[in-house]
Amino acid sequence: MPEIIISGSEGRIEGRYQPGEQKGAPVALVLHPHPLYGGTMNNKIVYHLYHIFAQNGFSVLRFNFRGVGKSQGKYDDGIGELTDAATALDWLQLQNPDAPTCWIAGFSFGAWIALQLLMRRPEIEGFVAVSPPANLYDFSFLSPCPAAGLITQGDRDDVVSEELVAKLTERLGAQRGGRVEYKKIAGADHYYRGVEADLSAVAGNYIAQRITDFTQKRKIRPDRKRRQLPRD
C-alpha cells in the first residue's frame, strides 16, 4: 500500500495506491467524505471500499482532496475537489494503460463528487455510491445515469435522508437502461458504525458479481471464431 504523490492543480495530492496482482487489472478510484467535517482517505468506509476493490483484483487508488493531510490547497466547494478526482483518475489510468474497465466509488460527499466524475468520463463503467447526500446536494445531473452501479444507505442515518436516497435510486432506475441497485443497510447510521461488515459484504458481492459477468462477456471461445471462417 505505497504512498504516492500526484501533481495537481494546487500542488501535490497525497494518495495510497495498491496495484493489481495481474497484468491488465481493472482500476478503481475511491473518494472520501467532506473535507471540512473530518473526511480523509483513511476514513473507515473509504478504507473498506479500497480493500474490497483490491481483493477483487483491481488496481485501486484513494487520495486526500486538496487541503487534507499532505494534499496542498484548500477546500473549494466541490469544484476543485472534482478537479482533484479527475487528476487522480488520469494518474491511475496512466499507471494502468491496459485496464479493461474503470470504476469509481465514494462515501457521502465523495459519492457526490464520484457521480459527477462519472458523467464526465465515459470510460467509467461501474460505481459504488455509499450514502450519497441527496438531501444536501443536487443530483439532477444524473440524466441519464451512464453506467451501472450500487447505491447503499443506512436506515438510521441522521445526516442523509434514506427516503430521498431511495427516491434518487428509483428515479435512476426508471431511466432508459437504468441499472442501478439499491441496498438499505439495517441498523446503519451515517458512518455504518457496528455494521461495517454488512456494508463490506453488500459492496463486495456486487463488485465480485459485476467483474465475473464482465470477464465472461469478454471471453470469445476459439471454436466459435473458427465456425465464423468460410469453409473451403
pLDDT tens for the chain, residues 1 to 232: 689 999 999 999 999 999 999 999 999 999 999 999 999 999 999 999 999 999 999 999 999 999 999 999 999 999 999 999 999 999 999 999 999 999 999 999 999 999 999 999 999 999 999 999 999 999 999 989 999 999 999 999 999 999 999 999 999 988 877 799 999 999 999 999 999 999 999 999 999 999 999 888 876 444 434 334 333 3
Could you tell me if 66 and 13 are in contact, meaning their C-beta atoms sit under 8 angstroms apart? yes
Residue ranges per domain, the chain?
A: 3-227
Neighbour-count burial for 62-83, b at 16+ CB within 10 Å, e otherwise = bbbbbbbbebbbeebebebbbb
Q: In the structure grid, which three cell numbers stand for residue 165, read together?
A: 436516497
Could you tell me if 56 and 114 are in contact, meaning their C-beta atoms sit under 8 angstroms apart? no
CATH topology of domain 3-227: Rossmann fold (3.40.50)
Q: CA–CA separation, 113 vs 78, rounded Å? A: 7
Neighbour-count burial for 19-57, b at 16+ CB within 10 Å, e otherwise = ebeeeebbbbbbbbbbbeeebbbebebbbbbbbbbbebb
Beta strands 102-107 and 27-31 are parallel
Sign of CA dihedral 198, 123, 117, 3: positive
Residues 6+ apart with CB under 8 A from 218: 100
Residues 6+ apart with CB under 8 A from 119: 141, 142, 146
Instruction: Indicate yes or no: pTM above 0.85.
Output: yes
Name the residue among 116, 109, 88 with its Cα closest to residue 28. Answer: 88
Could you tell me if 130 and 164 are in contact, meaning their C-beta atoms sit under 8 angstroms apart? no
